[in-house]
Amino acid sequence: MNLAVRCQNLVKVYDTGGQKVTALNGINLDIIAGQLMMLVGPSGCGKTTLISVIAGILDQDEGLCELFGENLLAMRSKDKLNFRAKNIGFVFQAFNLLPSLNAAENVSIPLIINGMKRAEAERKAITLLEQVGLGARWKSLPSQLSGGQQQRVAIARALVHNPRLIVCDEPTSALDHETGRNVMKLLKDVALHKDRTLVIVTHDARIFDFADRIAEMDDGHIVEVQDKREQG
Amino acid sequence: MNHIALKMLMGDTGKYIGIVMGLTFASLIMTQQPAIFLGIMSRTYSFITDVGLPDIWVIDPKVQFVDDIKPMQDTELYRVRGISGVEWAMPMYKGLLKARLLDGTFQTCNVVGLDDATLIGGPPVMLEGKIDDLRRSDSVIVDIDGASEKLGKPSLIPGGKPIPLKIGDNLELNDRRAIVVGIAKVTRTFQSQPVIYTTYSRAKSYAPKERKLLSFVLVKAKKGQDLVELTRRIRESTGLAAYTQADFKTLTYEYFMHNTGIPINFGTSVLLGFIVGAAIAGQTFYNFTLGNIMQFGVLKAMGTSNWILLRMILLQAVLVGSIGYGLGVGLTALFGFAMRHTILAFKFPWQLLLFSGAGISLICAFAAIISILKVIRLEPAIVFKG
C-alpha cells in the first residue's frame, strides 16, 4: 500500500491580531495513493488549513508532512515551487479561472508554468477539454460558461499536467445537486487512477458516496477515518 | 507567461483605460507645460538669436538681460574697434518707443537701429521688401506679427480684425514719419511687442534726446580668434561688459529664471502633473493588482515563482507606461502643431522627451513596486479562502 501523503503531529497556529488560533492541533493522517480521500467537518475545523499544508502552499508550525515521501518543509523555496508545479493540481470552490483567458488558455496554464511552449500547451489543453466534454467550447471565456462548465474547465486545468495529487476545495458547493454529482463523477472517472490521488475538502454530504475514505475533522483534530470501501 | 500578463491587463477594459489615461495625462502635463515654459524662456533671448551674425555683444556692465538697456556713448564703438582681434564692430540701438497709429492710439514698439552702412543685425527673414530699402528716407521694416495685429489699421467693421500694415503705409514714431518699406519675420519677443527695424542714425532721431543712445556694440572676431580671450581683452580695455552670443543668452535666461515667478509657476504645474499622474496611475494600477490578487494567488499556488510574477507586473507597467507616454507626447506634439501660428510660446526639444520619459518611468516604477510588494507577500493559501 503506497502512501501519497503522510501527516504526523501537524500543528498550525494562526496569530490573528495577538490572538492565537490553533487550526491544526496534532493531525495524524495517511492518504493512500490512488484513492479519493474526503476531509469533512464543520466550518473552522481546519480542513482548508490541512489541504493547504498538504499541497505545500502553507507551512506547518510543527510536525511532519510528507508528499510522495518528500518533506516539503525541508525543501528550498524554488524546489518546492517546481515540485508543486509538477505534482499537484488544484480545483477550487469558486473555480478561480482567469476571466480574461479562454477555456483552453486557462487549462494550458500549468503546462506553461512547467515550461511547455504556448501553442503545444493549448493543443494539449483542447484535447483535455474534449475529455471533460467541453471540446467545442475551448474558445469560450469563463463568463460565457455555466458554473458546471467552469468547474469542468477547472478540473481539466488540474489534470492537464498529469499531477500525482489533486486537491479540491469544496468543488461542488457552488453547484446544484445534479451538476455537483456530475462533477464528482467526472473527477472520479477521469482524474482518479492508481497513480493519482484525490483529496477533497467538502461539507456536502450528498457526495460522500464518491469517497474511498473519509476523514472527519473537528477543532483541529482528525476525529475519525472511515474506509468506505470496507463498509461497501 | 507574458501573454497571460497582457490578457490579464487588457481583460478589464475599464481599469486598463483608466491606467493608460492617468499616464497619458501625466505625460501630457509633463511635456506640454515644460514646452510652453521653454518657449517662453527662449523668447527672452530671441532677439540675440535673431541678430545671429556677431560673435560678441559689448554692453554696459550693469546690464542684466537683453532688454535691460543701459546706453553707452558712441565713442565706445571706436574703442572696441581698436582692440586687436576684432574684425568689425557695429553699433546697435534698441529701445521702446511709442508708435502713433492711424486711429490715434499709441502702441509701444521695440525699435532696433542698425548700422547705417552695413545694416548688420537686421531681421532674419524678409517676407516683403528688401533690407536695403532701409536706406530710403524715413523707412522702417515691421515684423509680420506686429504689422498684422498691434500695428494694424483699424478694421472697417466694428470689432473686426485689424487690417495688416503693408509696404507704403505710414506710422508716427515720436512725432516723426516712418514709412513701411518691408515686412519681416522675427521670433516673437518675451513681451510680444511689435519690432520695428530702421537705421542707427534714424533710430536716434526717433528716440527721445539723450546723451547716450548706443545700446550694443556688435563684434565679429577675426578668424581663429579665441572668443573667451577676446571678451576678456574687450572688458579690460573698455571697462564694458562683453559676452559671447551664448553667454549673453545665458545671462538673459538666468535673469528671468532668478528674478521672475515663471520657473516656479511652471515647475508647480509640472510637479502637480507628476503627482496627480502618479496618484491616478499608481492607485489604478495597484487597484488592478488588488482586483487580480486571487488570480496571482492561483498562479502562485500552481508553482509560478515570484520572479515570473514580478516580470508579469513589470511587463504590464511597461506596456501601460509606453502607451500613456506615447499618447501624452503625441497630444503635446499635436498641441504644439495646432498652436504654431498663435502667440503661444512652445518649444519641444528632444531633451523634453527624455524628461517626461523619466517622469513616466518613475510613476510606472512606483506603481509596479507597490503592486509587486503586494504580490510577493501574497500567501498562496489565499486561493482556498473562497
Question: A65: phi > 0 → left, psi -120 to 50 → alpha, else beta; which?
Answer: beta
The residues near B168 (Cβ < 8 Å, ≥ 6 apart) are B179, B180
Grid coordinates representing B317 are 507597467
Lowest-confidence range among A2-6, A15-19, B7-11, B194-198?
A15-19
Cα–Cα distance for residue pair A84/A86, rounded to 1 Å: 5
Domains of chain A: 38-44+77-231 (3.40.50.300)
Paired with A166 in beta bridges are: A89, A198
Per-residue pLDDT tens digits for A148-157: 889 889 988 9
Sheet with A62-67, side-by-side order of all strands = A19-32, A3-16, A62-67, A70-71
Residue B217 — pLDDT band, cuts 50, 70, 90? Answer: very high
Contact flag B381-A52 (C-beta cutoff 8 Å)? yes
- The three-class DSSP label of residue A33 is coil
pLDDT over threshold 80, residue A229: no
Q: Is A13 on the interface with B (CB under 8 A)?
A: no
C-alpha to C-alpha distances, A209 to A121, A184, A212, B234, B339, nearest whole angstrom: 34, 10, 8, 106, 77
Nearest CA in chain B to A163: B302
Give the CA count within 13 Å in the CB-facing half-sphere of A156: 32
Pairing assessment for the beta strands B195-199 and B86-100 based on DSSP bridges: unpaired
Angle at B48 between CA B42 and CA B52, to 5 degrees: 120
User: Cell 509606453 identifies what position?
Assistant: B322
According to DSSP H, which parts of chain B are helical? 2-11, 13-44, 46-51, 75-81, 144-148, 200-206, 227-238, 245-259, 262-291, 293-301, 306-338, 350-376
Chain centroid to CA B117: 34
pLDDT band at B199; cut points 50, 70, 90: very high
User: What pLDDT, on a 0 to 100 scale, did the predictor assign at position B279?
Assistant: 79
Neighbours of B373 (CB within 10 A): 12
E strand or H helix at B305: none
* ipTM associated with this complex: 0.88
CB-based burial label for B377 (10 Å; 0-12, 13-18, 19+): exposed
Q: Do the beta carbons of residue B173 and residue B110 sit within 8 Å? A: no
Task: Give just the sign of the alpha carbon dihedral B354, B360, B366, B369.
Answer: negative
Judging contacts by C-beta atoms under 8 Å, the chain A residues touching residue B11 are 98-101
Distance CA B372, CA B363 (A): 14
Q: Is the pLDDT of residue B93 over 90?
A: yes
Average pLDDT over residues B169-192: 87
- The answer to whether residue B88 scores a pLDDT higher than 90 is yes
pLDDT bracket for residue A231 (50, 70, 90): low
- Which residue of A59, A96, A111, A169 to mutate against B (max B Cβ within 10 Å)? A96
Give pLDDT, residue B182. Answer: 94
Residues A71-77 have a mean pLDDT of 87
Tens-place pLDDT, residues B58-81: 999 999 998 888 999 989 999 999
Residue type, B80: V
Q: How many residues would you count in chain A?
A: 232
Of B15, B19, B23, the C-alpha closest to B292 is: B15
**Interface subset of A 72-111, CB within 8 angstroms of B:** 78, 81-82, 84-86, 88, 90, 92-94, 96, 98-101, 105, 109-110
pLDDT cut 70: percent of chain B above it: 99
Mean pLDDT of chain B: 88
Task: Tell which residue, B27, B6, B26, B18, has the closest CA to residue B287.
Answer: B18
Distance CA B52, CA B230 (A): 18
3-state SS class at A162? coil
Nearest CA in chain B to A106: B4
The whole-chain average pLDDT of chain A stands at 87
Q: What pLDDT is stored for residue B265 in this prediction?
A: 84
Give the amino acid at A41: G
Question: So what's the pLDDT on residue A232?
Answer: 53
Instruction: Measure the CA angle with vertex B367, ends B362 and B372; round to 5°.
Output: 120
Residues from chain A contacting residue B299 (CB–CB below 8 Å): 109, 113
Q: Which pLDDT tens digit goes with each residue over A125-146?
A: 998 888 888 888 888 999 999 8
- Give the residue from B292, B384, B385 with the most A CB atoms within 10 Å of its CB, the best one to mutate: B384
What confidence score (pLDDT) does residue A171 get?
Answer: 82
Q: What is the structure's pLDDT at A152? A: 85
Q: Using the predicted structure, report yes or no on whether residue A159 has a pLDDT greater than 90.
A: no
Looking at residue A73, the DSSP 8-state letter turns out to be: G
Range scoring the smallest mean pLDDT among B197-201, B250-254, B379-383: B379-383
Judge whether residue B268 has pLDDT over 90.
Answer: no
> pLDDT, tens digit, for every residue of B223-252?
988 999 999 999 999 999 999 999 999 999
pLDDT of A43 reads 84
Cross-chain residue pair A110–B303, CB shorter than 8 Å: yes
Angstrom distance (rounded) from CA A11 to CA A15: 13
Instruction: Convert the pLDDT of each residue in B338-356 to its tens digit.
Output: 988 787 888 888 998 998 8
